[in-house]
Structure 1
């Protein structure tokens, strides 16, 4: 079987450190080309990985079976809709958009084109954490949960290897909020009500009610002091209390996401973390943002 030709949109730190190396090394796909808003950066990244730089994004779509996106969410959404219309499967970054309208338009474009889509919620593709979610969803009987993600990207003593203007502007709610929801929803059910409150700097606290009857909380920040940064997912229920195992980025998650996009493109099956799930995450975060505005 011919390898899937995947184009890459983006040339920033996330594209150069994660997406481009993973696609170039993956035995099941071919990195068919790169497009970026900075042509010189696209040329440099393409040269480093033995592929070509495209000056026109639609030409990249036309030469690709699938496209991976490593650009800000509200740049991603309209470009990904165009890629789907051009017949490309999609490997999307989270959030798929920071407006409900943008996310809905993208989801509708993917549905019209009948393309496969996978949204890269990191913990849902890392081996240890994805297996943990599957196990807890099967166990059931949960009473409450919490997902706390304290990042230190923009703390005075922090390190920001993947810093970008959109992260600095939209803060923890939109950058790490999708990660928290991606872990809570498959275990506790869809969110039926959300309340949000601000904490120090960009920190946001969420209180969520779920369709399964459980409640949960989330603490989200990119500006926590470096010494207290970290993430915790905890569930409490009939069987006791369980905590998500420690996780460390090793590159396995992005490789698995590519594997699963290839499988979905081949089989036609929908992925649990597809664009429709990405849309739901955007809807919940937008509702949280409205809650903050109302207070």
Structure 2
């Protein structure tokens, strides 16, 4: 599969470009970015080609990986789908429900495959744990804490404008939801949303299974307090999300495997754009509650 990369920022450099160039079944054709010099430098490091025009790149590939802010990713993803390109996307899918829905509609109309890279869903240890818990009945509650310390010296994402604007709800919230939803079921209602220190938010969710979950999400936790935990309690007892030693690159290689499988078989991946849209809808509902409280 011939694939192009849209984006030249830290995430494209740290994860996407290495994963695409390492993958044995992908031909990493080229890079497009909003900064020409950055695209040229990234392409040169990975033996690829820099494209000045995004439509030229879309015309010469079978798929694209996108490593751009959600408000930029969504319209480009829809554009790529209309050019018959399969989609390897990042979370969150979009910055609004309308933008996310446009991606899903474009992908459906073009009959292209899509995978949204929710990191935990493509780490083998966590993937196996999710499948094991999803097979059990009687979950009562879930508790997730996803605490980052992003805006500190040395963080590659310290200068990320969209993360400063959207905060932990939109950046790490998708990670927590991507693990909770396949186990506890879809969210029936955002029962409560409240603000904590700085960008921190607390959510209470009611799931269609009858279970409830609580989420604490932040990008501004003290470095010593940063980390991610998730606990489930139910008839089977108590279980905790296992740690994974797989980094972003091998996880993204597995996401590319999933895209290849979806493209070959025509069967949607569980983490496709439609799932990404559902996560976006939940985030938007929580954001609406937070806005009403201000």
- Whether the TM-score (by the shorter chain) exceeds 0.5 is yes
For normalisation by structure 2, the TM-score amounts to: 0.97
For normalisation by structure 1, the TM-score amounts to: 0.97
In the alignment, what sits opposite 2:264? 266
Aligned partner of residue 141 in structure 2, secondary structure: strand
Question: Does residue 1:49 correspond to 2:40, yes or no?
Answer: no
In the alignment, what sits opposite 1:160? 155
Unaligned stretches of 5+ residues in structure 2: none
Question: Does residue 1:232 correspond to 2:229, yes or no?
Answer: yes
Shift of 1:249: 4.1
Unaligned stretches of 5+ residues in structure 1: none
Aligned partner of residue 139 in structure 1, secondary structure: coil
Question: Does residue 1:278 correspond to 2:276, yes or no?
Answer: yes
Q: How many aligned residue pairs are there?
A: 290
Structure 1 residue ranges (4+ consecutive) displaced by more than 4 angstroms after TM superposition: none
- C-alpha distance in 2 between matches for 1:214 and 1:7: 41
Report matched runs for 1:106-145 at 5 Å. 106-145=103-142
User: Which of these residues, 186, 192, 204, is aligned with residue 188 of structure 2?
Assistant: 192
- C-alpha distance in 2 between matches for 1:246 and 1:239: 20
Question: Does residue 1:178 correspond to 2:184, yes or no?
Answer: no
- C-alpha distance in 1 between matches for 2:151 and 2:36: 28
Shift of 1:162: 2.8
In the alignment, what sits opposite 1:294? 292
Shift of 1:159: 4.2
Question: Does residue 1:5 correspond to 2:5, yes or no?
Answer: no
- C-alpha distance in 2 between matches for 1:153 and 1:160: 6
- C-alpha distance in 2 between matches for 1:42 and 1:180: 32
How large is the RMSD of aligned CA atoms in angstroms?
0.9
- C-alpha distance in 1 between matches for 2:2 and 2:275: 25
